[in-house]
Structure 1
């Protein structure tokens, strides 16, 4: 792995940690899920998953580390894989793809709440459906915030990668 690639992953993970910290007072209203999904457009799968895992591990040093962090990494990886292999290719072909990608990003984020409820409910010996329904409102906020942040983060990535390609081609 090149130094440029490692530093890009580290900087993006640090940015995501700062975003999680900045939005800490708003339960489940955070731009990082949209950030992870948009990163799959501009980075390769391995780099995006590394950014996500480092974000979860790094932010757990601030918010507290437990086994739940492992479930977060697993759950985010699941939705990122579904997004990368199934949903992103389907939405890229549509007109006004960013609108559809934002909506679908919100929907796939809503399933994150269910994915993470499975191991946590098992870990604590709770009924899965009751545990998941208790977090339904938080999952809904998470989905809505992801759908709203998605086009903003996509525009930021687009500008950054456009500028980077312009700088690289002028060297």
Structure 2
């Protein structure tokens, strides 16, 4: 009698790997918490999505935000944070379909800069609905300086982390192909 085995989306080894990437996000966010909107999570989400795909980026996103918010404060804003990062990840997935994006660091750094503003826009839309704020533009423009800091931080972290994570992710892709 043949056993009916269902194939999992993630292997045990890959789950451990994603846990380590999540840990890097958590430690990075907590380490830089004293600087407003400057943390490596967005850059790591973009990197993991670029090299390992949308589903892995979303898993790391959700786990990283939930774990860091246990330390920094959990609230209704957690929904906006997960949504904002998820939109950034989904857009990377779309951009990855063009090989020119996947193979040019300059375009990836540009997107990581733009992601700071995308994240701020998504959060402003969600926050104005959740908190019943009447003037979206006043709220959004009031936070644009924080979005700029997020954008600059994303670009810097992306440049610094790309060589390390690219090498790690390429090893993971090779292992996956060998299986």
Q: Compute the TM-score of the two structures, normalised by the length of structure 1.
A: 0.88
2:135 equivalent to 1:133: no
Residue matched to 1:65: 74
Q: Which of 150, 162, 165 is the equivalent residue of 2:158? A: 150
Q: Secondary structure at the match of 2:158?
A: helix
Instruction: Check conservation: 1:114, 1:132, Cα contact below 8 A.
Output: yes
For 1:48 and 1:165, how far apart are their aligned partners in 2?
14
- Structure 2 runs not aligned, ≥5 long: 1-9
Instruction: Check conservation: 2:121, 2:140, Cα contact below 8 A.
Output: yes
Residue matched to 2:37: 28
Instruction: Check conservation: 1:105, 1:143, Cα contact below 8 A.
Output: yes
Shift in Å, 1:147: 1.3
Shift in Å, 1:94: 6.3
Instruction: Check conservation: 1:83, 1:108, Cα contact below 8 A.
Output: no
Structure 1 stretches of at least 4 aligned residues deviating more than 2 Å after TM superposition: 87-90, 161-169
| Change in 2 beyond 3 A, CA 1:82/1:66 | same
Residue matched to 1:37: 46
2:28 equivalent to 1:19: yes
Instruction: Check conservation: 1:29, 1:141, Cα contact below 8 A.
Output: yes
- Structure 1 runs not aligned, ≥5 long: none
Residue deviations 1:20-78, cap 9 Å, x none?
00000110011110110011122121111000100000001000100100111011111
For 2:173 and 2:125, how far apart are their aligned partners in 1?
42
For 2:55 and 2:175, how far apart are their aligned partners in 1?
25
2:84 equivalent to 1:75: yes
Q: Which has the larger radius of gyration?
A: 2
For 1:112 and 1:166, how far apart are their aligned partners in 2?
32
Q: How many pairs are equivalent? A: 168
